[in-house]
Amino acid sequence: MILSGRSDNNREHAGVGFLISPACRASIYGFCQASNRFVAIKIRASGGKVAIISAYALQSQRPYDERCNFFPELKQFWQSISVNGSKFIFGDFNSRIYTRFPGEESIIGDFFFKNHAIYLRPDLNRLLLIEMCSACGLQATNTFIDLPDDKLVTFRAPGTAPMDTVSPSKFAQLDLLLAPVSDINGVIHIETNRSMALASHHYLILVELQVEIDKRNQPCHMQDHFDVHALNDPRLASEFSASMTTCMAKLRDNNANHVSNIENMQSQFRDAYATACKHVLPVIKARPKQKWISSSTLKLIDQRNFARGECNWTLEKELHTLIRKSAACDKWQFLFNMAEGGSWDAVKLFRQLSTIKQGRLRSLSGKFVSSEEGAETLAEYLEKVQWAVRPDAILPDRPSIWAPLPVNELPITTAEVQKAISKLKCKKACGIDDIPPECFKALACSTDGLNLITELCQLCWQSRNVPKD
């Protein structure tokens, strides 16, 4: 994925983005674009998710008011990213460190590219960066690893060769890795590679993080591949509920040291659902969308779906080409068999284009209008009904007539959860968590499954929050 430029028509050479390897593609959970200056990506990892933010600060030559707005916006964006794992900020902050003042030991380490000879103006990006790091509890990880100066510098001045002797007048340390104090141990190593050829005055920085990527072989949208409607069978629903509660118990035992919060429980709930679907539910076979598709083509489609689930992109591309060729042969054979009978009626019916049925409009008086008056009738409706200015309906400030309705603030009970689940309708689209209503109905059939859902609802009720994913 690459993100660059601006959202408006004003062109500017500013952009941030990510290049993701095919092996890591299946672990990407989310992508959040805030502006052309910072963007975030979420990656699935063992026991949770990891967020990486790419930032690009304004240069020191830009107006001070614009630079003052960037760092508070980045701070707000950092706080809005919710993951139950580590968070890191990579980027060009256009902030030379120069030196370390008393009180900055928790933000800047002992190993940074120094320049004590320059006078520090009060409007430099450096002070804005230190203020943001102090408010968010971040550390410049580059400065806590003992490296020579040629491994610390990240920028060379225009006209300077990449491999020139490092000096404060021609080189600087502008690109930093910011990490919370609690996650700094996850940064194994970081250094600058000056020998890598880049069409930029910035050098390539190699970072090694201690993050275990959760390699998922199945696509995220599992309900497209598993027959969740089979949970209407009471025997299968009971087996599904038992499998999911068992898997949930194992996930809790493996993450006993983690703090129990909404995000952790939601992530475990989704993983348990994926495991239960894989063990219990039947896989949906490919069905022909056109009458001429043969069984051999459907077999190729099943093979392509399996290759896609295994993240074998080369095989998926080859099977996709074979599917198109096989579908074309099936269509030719279908037309040949139709014409072989000597009657062209079926061919004419096959080639007949579908017509769009359009309903007749009624005027405001309730009478049908002709197609010539359709535009005027619709415009009159929008003007007088849809977009009409309505009178102010705000009541004056006066005491209420009746006493306030009682609100039950007691903990959520299993009976309330059972009643809410019974009102869910099957065969409805699920939300962003990819868990269909059939799953909750199946869990409600057993006491353990119902207690599991009640615990999640109670956690949301007590914390006054809901999962973001």
pLDDT in tens, 376-402: 888 898 888 888 876 655 556 677 778
Measured CA to CA, the distance from residue 143 to residue 152 in angstroms comes to 8
- Token pair, residue 19, equals 């290049």
Find all residues with CB under 8 Å of 13, minimum gap 6, and list them.
none
Q: At 222, is the pLDDT very low, low, confident or very high (cuts 50, 70, 90)?
A: very low
pLDDT of 166 > 70? The answer is yes
Domain segments of the chain: what residues? 22-209, 217-339+411-469
Q: Give 169-213 pLDDT, tens digit per residue.
A: 888 888 999 999 888 888 888 889 888 867 888 888 898 888 765
Q: What is the mean pLDDT of the chain?
A: 82
Look at 285 and 89; give whichever has higher pLDDT: 89
Residue the block writes with tokens 């009976």? 415
pLDDT of 124: 84
Q: Could you tell me the CATH superfamily of domain 22-209?
A: Endonuclease/exonuclease/phosphatase (3.60.10.10)
Q: At 372, is the pLDDT very low, low, confident or very high (cuts 50, 70, 90)?
A: confident
Contact 370, 386 (CB under 8 A): no
pLDDT of 325: 93
Measured CA to CA, the distance from residue 234 to residue 239 in angstroms comes to 9
Look at 393 and 246; give whichever has higher pLDDT: 246
pLDDT of 329: 93
pTM of the model: 0.48
Contact 72, 163 (CB under 8 A): no
Mean pLDDT score, 84-88 = 85
Q: At 289, is the pLDDT very low, low, confident or very high (cuts 50, 70, 90)?
A: confident
Beta bridge partners of 53: 40, 89
pLDDT of 8: 54
pLDDT of 53: 92
Look at 168 and 339; give whichever has higher pLDDT: 168
What Cα–Cα distance (Å) separates residue 98 from each residue in 61, 126, 464?
18, 9, 45
Look at 397 and 158; give whichever has higher pLDDT: 158
pLDDT of 342 > 90? The answer is no
Residue the block writes with tokens 């910035």? 202
Mean pLDDT score, 243-262 = 78
pLDDT of 416: 92
Q: Give 48-81 pLDDT, tens digit per residue.
A: 788 899 998 888 888 888 888 888 999 999 988 8
Q: At 356, is the pLDDT very low, low, confident or very high (cuts 50, 70, 90)?
A: low
Residue the block writes with tokens 């087996």? 239
Instruction: Give the highest mean pLDDT range of 149-153, 355-359, 463-467.
Output: 149-153
Pairing mode of beta strands 87-92, 48-56: parallel
Pairing mode of beta strands 175-180, 187-193: unpaired
- DSSP state letter for 386: I
Treating both helix axes as pointing N-terminal to C-terminal, what angle do 262-280 and 447-463 enclose, rounded to 10 degrees? Answer: 160
* H or E element that contains 192: strand 187-193
152 alpha carbon, distance to own chain's centre: 33
pLDDT of 258 > 70? The answer is no
Measured CA to CA, the distance from residue 443 to residue 421 in angstroms comes to 10
pLDDT of 5 > 70? The answer is no
Contact 4, 45 (CB under 8 A): no
What do you get for the CA distance between the two ends of the chain, in Å?
A: 21
Pairing mode of beta strands 175-180, 138-140: antiparallel
Measured CA to CA, the distance from residue 19 to residue 16 in angstroms comes to 10
pLDDT of 216 > 80? The answer is no
pLDDT of 418: 92
pLDDT of 215: 45
- Token pair, residue 90, equals 């990579």
* H or E element that contains 204: strand 204-209
Query: Edge-to-edge, what's the strand order for the sheet holding 175-180?
Result: 28-33, 38-45, 48-56, 87-92, 175-180, 138-140
Mean pLDDT score, 113-138 = 82
